[in-house]
């Protein structure tokens, strides 16, 4: 099977979607079997064998920060022009019949009819929580989604929750949608205590700490977390890991004012450092309003870190009874959960034990095999 993939999301730092694609295709190419998959990555101009190299976080982040300052109307025009050029190039390159299948990994399916298309739709936050996204991104999605969705032969998503949402909202046929879960990277496993102590000393993290991992964007509900920490009995530190994201940051000023030196922002960190931070944290606190999956939940569990996460969207499905679930819109509920985890060593150990077992149920090999089965099914139906 010669598979053409939209590689544009891979030209970003390895957060959610890029991490998913790198793990999926790295594992897919390593699988043995008669139905080998040859992956060709299309960046909008040319098709190349293998995955593009990861970008440098510093330059990428600075570029994104500058783009944030451009008015939404101009960014929308730029985004539409780029997408038009992408579709034109894709139609030309797919017409050569060199490829068997196209995997669309962007926000909407591209308009091309030469190849059957598997469209990865990770969540519906651009519809459900439009106010938490950059305005140009929302407008682009609204302009193109209904006009392009019919170009998708099959939708691939990452949780049963999102699968049900897609079927309900778009009346999408059940036989043309599949949910295949994500998994923690192999790098995420418990780190030795001396290694954790070394990392904490290097980063200036004193004593115990709570950890948040993710882009600092409105949907992650960091303001709710700050409110909860203000009423917690504990005065534990909070470590924030992730790039600055988008949206207003008034909550950050409030956090600095109320938490002072207890608030430690690290920005984007590499995976080895992140594994150490998970391993040393008293708990991962993930109060997001909405997630299609929530990779930090299983990454933390794989490192032996107790997890406190929201009881909304896909998160109860992903956590599978191995996390303390809270109402993300209720700071008192979140504060009570934090206090319980910090004050009860027995409960904390129970969460660690259940979390390690839950994380072990996810693997990129399983994800790759199930995804390959979807590709094979779509290709077989297209040929029949």
Task: Provide the pLDDT confidence category of residue 266 given band limits of 50, 70 and 90.
Answer: very high
Following DSSP, what letter does each residue of 195-248 receive, concatenated?
HHHHHHHHHT--S-EEEEES---GGG-HHHHHHHHHH-S---EEEEES---SS-
pLDDT of residue 45: 87
Alpha helices in the chain (DSSP H): 16-30, 57-67, 72-94, 125-128, 135-148, 160-170, 193-203, 222-231, 250-259, 271-280, 295-302, 315-319, 331-343, 345-360, 364-383
pLDDT in tens, 268-290: 899 999 999 999 999 999 999 99
Mean pLDDT value across residues 202-216 = 93
Domain boundaries, the chain: 2-183+364-383, 193-360
Mean pLDDT value across residues 259-273 = 89
pLDDT of residue 33: 58
Task: Calculate the CA 90 to chain-centre distance.
Answer: 26
Task: Provide the pLDDT confidence category of residue 334 given band limits of 50, 70 and 90.
Answer: very high
Mean of per-residue pLDDT scores for the chain: 92
Say whether 193-360 and 2-183+364-383 share the same fold.
Answer: yes
**How many other C-beta atoms lie within 10 A of the C-beta of residue 146?**
11
Mean pLDDT value across residues 73-99 = 91
Rounded Cα gap, residues 277 and 349, in angstroms: 18
Strands 101-104 and 154-157: unpaired
CATH of domain 193-360: 3.40.50.2000
pLDDT of residue 288: 97
Pick from 343, 260, 267: which is nearest to 306 by CA? 343
**Which of 50-59, 75-84, 141-150, 310-319 has maximum average pLDDT?**
310-319
Q: Give me the CATH topology for the region 2-183+364-383.
A: Rossmann fold (3.40.50)
pLDDT of residue 32: 65
Mean pLDDT value across residues 129-146 = 91
pTM of the model: 0.93
pLDDT of residue 281: 97
pLDDT of residue 59: 82
Return the percentage of the chain with pLDDT > 90, whole number.
72
């Amino acid at each position: 099977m010669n598979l053409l993939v939209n590689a544009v999301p891979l030209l970003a730092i390895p957060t959610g979607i890029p991490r998913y694609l790198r793990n999926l295709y790295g594992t897919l190419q390593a699988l043995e079997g008669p139905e080998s998959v040859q992956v060709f990555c299309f960046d909008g101009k040319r098709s190349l064998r293998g995955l593009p190299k990861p970008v440098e976080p510093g330059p990428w982040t600075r570029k994104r920060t500058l783009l944030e300052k451009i008015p939404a109307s101009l960014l929308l025009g730029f985004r539409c022009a780029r997408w038009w050029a992408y579709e034109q190039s894709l139609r030309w390159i797919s017409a050569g019949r060199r490829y068997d299948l196209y995997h669309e990994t962007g926000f909407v399916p591209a308009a091309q009819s030469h190849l059957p298309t598997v469209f990865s739709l990770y969540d519906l936050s651009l519809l459900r929580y439009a106010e938490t996204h950059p305005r140009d991104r929302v407008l682009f999605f609204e302009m193109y989604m209904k006009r392009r969705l019919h170009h998708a032969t099959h939708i691939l998503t990452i949780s049963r929750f999102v699968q049900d949402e897609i079927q309900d909202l778009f009346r999408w046929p059940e036989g043309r949608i599949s949910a295949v879960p994500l998994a923690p990277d192999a790098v995420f496993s418990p780190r030795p205590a001396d290694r954790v102590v070394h990392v904490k000393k290097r980063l200036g993290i004193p004593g115990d700490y709570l950890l948040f991992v993710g882009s600092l964007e409105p949907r992650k509900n960091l303001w709710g977390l700050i409110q909860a920490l203000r009423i917690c009995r504990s005065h534990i530190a909070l470590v924030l890991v992730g790039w600055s994201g988008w949206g207003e940051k008034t909550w950050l000023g409030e956090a600095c004012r109320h938490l002072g030196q207890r608030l430690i922002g690290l920005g984007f960190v590499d995976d080895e450092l992140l594994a150490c931070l998970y391993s040393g944290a008293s708990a991962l606190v993930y109060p997001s309003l909405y997630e299609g999956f929530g990779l930090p939940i299983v990454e933390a569990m794989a490192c032996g870190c107790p997890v406190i996460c929201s009881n909304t969207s896909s998160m109860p499905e992903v956590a599978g009874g191995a996390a303390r679930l809270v109402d993300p819109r209720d700071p008192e509920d979140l504060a009570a959960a934090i206090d319980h985890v910090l004050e009860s060593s027995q409960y904390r150990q129970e969460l660690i034990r259940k979390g390690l077992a839950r994380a072990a149920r996810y693997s990129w090999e399983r994800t790759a095999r199930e995804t390959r089965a979807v590709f094979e099914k779509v290709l077989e139906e297209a040929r029949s």
